[in-house]
A and B are shown apart, each in its own frame.
Chain A
Amino acid sequence: MKMHYGAPIIVGLVIFIGALCAPFVVGTAVTKTYKQPELKMPANEKECVESKEFMREKHMQLLNDWRDWALRDGKRTYTNHAGKEFTISLQNTCMKCHVSKADFCDKCHLDAGVSPYCWDCHVQPEGLK
């Protein structure tokens, strides 16, 4: 059986499959091994509000709860699992240790492709330009 328009179809298929595989052959986006971003940790403080693992996974929930407790309930003192007390405030507690948004927050957020809108209103510790 003769294939109608056989040559252009075969050429088209080769180009299509070539383009499909190109990222794996020439690109680095897929083949590059992912490296965890290196965060700049606070110099003078070793303990965060909660454990490192908790903060890494759940800081967004914590910030969410902090906001509601402070604004809605008027309760601005947080007691962590070790019994230590913290003033609930992003600008005046978190960012007093994490003195740079660019060297801390942005590192993971950029890698993970998330853009939280904290800094639309809150003032980052390095100031605004």
Chain B
Amino acid sequence: MKNNRRSFIKLAGIAAAGLALAPKAMASGGGAAPVKVNATAIHAAHWAMVVDTTKLNTAEGIEKLAHVCHAIHNVPTIPNKQNEKWLWGAPYDEAFPEQENPHLSESVHTREYPLLCNHCVNPPCVRVCPTKATYQRPDGIVAMDYHRCIGCRYCMAGCPYGSRSFNWGEPRDYLDLKKLNAEYPTRMRGVVEKCNFCVERLAIGKLPACVEASEGALIFGDLNDPDSDVRKVLRERFTIRRKPTAGTEPSVYYII
């Protein structure tokens, strides 16, 4: 073929058309990821919890729920200040330091309040995590990918609620290895851990373990659905959230 201007322009035209079409042709080969949400999963636009502290307010009651939670998530009990906790209890002045006054009713002061990760709408832990090991799911749950945690503990500094625990040593040293939940992993030395609103249970259609064991004292549901259990309770009862001035918008509400 003779090299002239006409044939050059023809070739250039074909090449340009090829460049425009190639990415689409390549993409159609791969297709979408072959995954979907479990058929049995329960869904919400934003998961939230209401704690009825008129029903659940003793150290023993909270300890019982913490035991259920810690047993299924393989959370160790370490008998010093390096303990791990996903669910625990505290008195009013620790739980709600901003909402205290010297003349609160006595029962409010003598109660113990169940505390857990608040799964904030604006989670500071997610903002400060340098590796995106902790992240907010579209359904509002603040989850963790322990594979990616480098143990910098920025999230622990960021969290205004003390909801996160660091594994200073091997957590397995303090777990009863005979009684592990074989369906859930443990953690390793050097990662931070916290409550995950039982994402692994929601994925198979179960409510969080503490809610199931609470005999109605914990109410769990979709905050964005006006007909959900949590919204019904929030409409009828007066509730407060922890440290409102932090601006984190917790998804855990307390009936006092």
Q: Do A and B actually bind?
A: yes
Q: Whole-angstrom distance between the alpha carbons of A41 and B134 in the complex?
A: 37
Answer whether residue B1 sits at the interface, using C-beta atoms and an 8 A cutoff: no
Q: Mark A1-34, 1 if CB is under 8 A from B, else 0.
A: 0000000000000000000000000000000000
* B184 sits at the interface (CB 8 A): yes
Are A77 and B37 in contact, CB atoms less than 8 angstroms apart? yes
Chain A nearest CB from B74 CB (Å) reads 8
Mark B132-143 against chain A: 1 for CB-CB distance below 8 A, else 0.
000101110001
Q: Report yes or no: A71 in contact with B184, Cβ–Cβ below 8 A.
A: no
A77 to B38, CA, bound (A): 5
The answer to whether A128 touches B180 (Cβ under 8 A) is: yes
Measured in the bound complex, the distance between the Cα atoms of B174 and A128 in whole Å is 13
CB nearest to B178 among chain A residues:
A127
The reply to whether A74 and B199 form a contact with Cβ atoms under 8 Å apart is yes
The complex places the Cα of A125 from the Cα of B36 at a distance, in Å, of 26
A76: Cβ under 8 A from any B Cβ: yes
A75 touches which of B36, B146, B185 (Cβ 8 Å)? B36
A sample of 16 more A-B contacts (CB under 8 A), given A75-B33, A76-B37, A123-B186, is: A67-B147, A69-B33, A71-B145, A72-B145, A74-B199, A75-B35, A75-B37, A76-B203, A77-B39, A79-B34, A79-B36, A120-B188, A123-B182, A125-B182, A127-B178, A128-B172
